[in-house]
Chains A and B, each alone.
Chain A
Amino acid sequence: MNQASLSSIFLDSLLINNFVLSVFLGICPFIGVSGKFATAWRMGVSVIFVITVSSVLAYASNLLLVFLHAEYLRIIMFIVIIASTVQLLEMFIKKTSPVLFRALGIYLPLITTNCAVLGVALFQTAREYSFAQSVVFAVGASAGFALALVIMSVIRERLELSDVPGVARGTALVLMLAGILSMAFMGFAGMGGGA
Chain B
Amino acid sequence: MAHVHGQELPASTAENMEAFFNGLWNQNPVFVQVLGMCPTLAVTNSVRNALAMGLATTFVLVCSNTLISMVRKLVPKQVRIATYILIIATFVTIVDYLIKAISIPVYKALGAFIALIVVNCIILGRAEAYASKNPVGKSMLDGLGMGLGFAFALTCLGGVREILGAGSFLGIHLFGANFQPWVLFLLPPGGFLTLAAWLLIFSSWKARPRKKAEALEEIAA
Contacts and interface: CB of A to CB of B under 8 A. Distances in A.
B is bound to A: yes
B116 A76 contact: no
A55 to B, nearest CB: 14
Given A24-B41, A166-B207, A175 B192 contact: yes
A168 B35 CA distance: 18
Nearest to A73: B93
B82 A175 contact: no
Nearest to A115: B119
A83 interface: yes
Interface string B100-138: 000000000001100110111100100000000000000
A25 to B, nearest CB: 6
Nearest to A23: B42
A126 interface: yes
B215 interface: no
Nearest to B184: A183
Given A24-B38, A118-B118, A113 B193 contact: no
B34 to A, nearest CB: 5
B18 to A, nearest CB: 26
A41 B39 CA distance: 25
A182 B185 CA distance: 12
B92 to A, nearest CB: 6
Interface size class of B (residues with CB under 8 A): 35 or more
B192 A79 contact: no
Contact of A186 (B38, B82, B93, B189): B189
Contacts of B17: none
A114 B61 CA distance: 19
Contact of A28 (B38, B82, B189, B200): B38
A186 B184 CA distance: 10
B71 interface: no
A182 B121 contact: no
Nearest to B198: A172
Contacts of A22: 188
Nearest to B193: A179
Contacts of A21: 188
16 contacts: A24-B39, A24-B188, A25-B38, A28-B38, A28-B121, A31-B34, A73-B93, A74-B115, A79-B89, A113-B124, A119-B116, A168-B200, A171-B199, A179-B191, A183-B189, A186-B188
Interface of B: 34-35, 37-39, 41-42, 82, 85-86, 89-90, 92-93, 96-97, 111-112, 115-116, 118-121, 124, 184, 187-193, 195-196, 199-200, 203-204, 207
